Amino acid sequence: MTFLLDEIALATARLAEAGVPSPRTDAEEIAAFVHGVRRAELHTVKDADFDALFWEGVSRRESREPLQHITGRAYFRYLSLDVGPGVFVPRPETEVVAGWAIERLNEMDVAAPVVVDLGTGSGAIALSISQEVALAQVHAVEVDPDAYGWAKRNISEHGQGRVTLHPEDLADCLPELNGQVDLVISNPPYIPPGAVPRDPEVRDYDPARALYGSGRDGLQEVRAVERTARRLLRPGGLVAVEHADEQGRSVYLTFPEDNGWRDVRVHQDLTRRDRYVTARFGQE
């Protein structure tokens, strides 16, 4: 164990030098993955069992390949999801959006709420809702073939029989549910085409289709979410849509009262930055 601790310390220094935001955590996660244990169980790895593949993983992380691509897993709320090339790696800020939806659904006087997740990606939001809201009927929509494959894999593992996956575009999906949905939620692409994310893990590895929105402001997909939510929701139904921290006002204005929206609000994430907009459709 002393040897592994020393190797983790050396790896931490290398990752810190490379600008990795959480070098110690990432070094430990790679060590745990390579040795087939949890981080809390690293002390059980004997010196003789040290696997040199640890340094291969460290080198990949040093080049700013996402930790989740190295381990093949991403943690989201209470889930451990399969991720890799071709799918957006779910972020902690999206957990806040999902948490709001879960709280509102559990407050509803509805026995089996109907939920639609537009642009589900890995399935993180849809699966969290299905896991944390009893009897929820969750529909996950994903048109991109690569992301659809990852969502199908995760739903097979975590949401079999509780989440229905649809290979459809969020702009015209699920007409059979028009006027019947209790909550629509989405983390659509919203980065303006001219803006380039600072983090290499995002810029170089997340699929462009999941990052960059259409139109000069990047909000064409958000506008499509508004139209689809207006079509799908029952009177009194709710919508939640994630956005970039500087887009709060623009997304707020995307849900006008003239379209039937009420109680439109901009919410902040844990860093106190504008992160998502919610609204209620019509009157209950």
Checking 129-135 for CB contacts under 8 A at 24+ apart, the result is 129/98, 129/101, 129/102, 129/105, 129/185, 130/158, 130/159, 130/162, 130/163, 131/77, 131/78, 131/79, 131/158, 131/159, 131/162, 132/77, 132/78, 132/102, 132/106, 133/102, 133/105, 133/106, 135/111
Please report, in range form, the residues annotated as the binding site for S-adenosyl-L-methionine: 119-123, 142, 187
Q: Cα angle at 58 between 56 and 59, to 5 degrees?
A: 65
CA separation for the pair 49, 52 (Å, rounded)? 10
What tokens appear for 139 in the block? 């529909």
pTM above 0.75, yes or no: yes
The two three-digit tokens of residue 175, written as one number? 């007409």
CATH architecture under which domain 75-281 falls: 3-Layer(aba) Sandwich (3.40)
Q: Up-side HSE of residue 131: CA atoms within 13 Å toward CB?
A: 18
Feature table: binding site: 119-123, 142, 187-190
Q: What is the pLDDT of residue 87?
A: 96
Matching residue, tokens 């959480």: 22
**Do residues 27 and 21 lie in contact, with contact meaning Cβ atoms separated by under 8 Å?**
no
Is-contact 235 284, C-beta < 8 A? yes
Per-residue pLDDT of the chain (284 residues; tens, 9 = 90+): 568 888 999 999 999 999 999 999 999 999 999 999 999 889 888 888 888 899 999 999 999 999 999 999 999 999 999 999 999 999 999 999 999 999 999 999 999 999 999 999 999 999 999 999 999 999 999 999 999 999 999 999 997 778 999 999 999 999 999 999 999 999 999 998 878 888 899 999 999 999 999 998 999 999 999 999 999 999 999 999 999 989 999 999 999 999 999 999 999 988 899 999 999 998 65
Question: How much is the pLDDT for 49?
Answer: 87
What pLDDT, on a 0 to 100 scale, did the predictor assign at position 47? 87
What's the CA gap between 22 and 27, in Å, rounded? Answer: 9
pLDDT at 58: 97
Q: What is the pLDDT of residue 161?
A: 77
Query: What is the dihedral sign for C-alpha 11, 13, 17, 23?
Result: positive
| pLDDT, position 197 | 85
Binding residues for substrate: 187-190
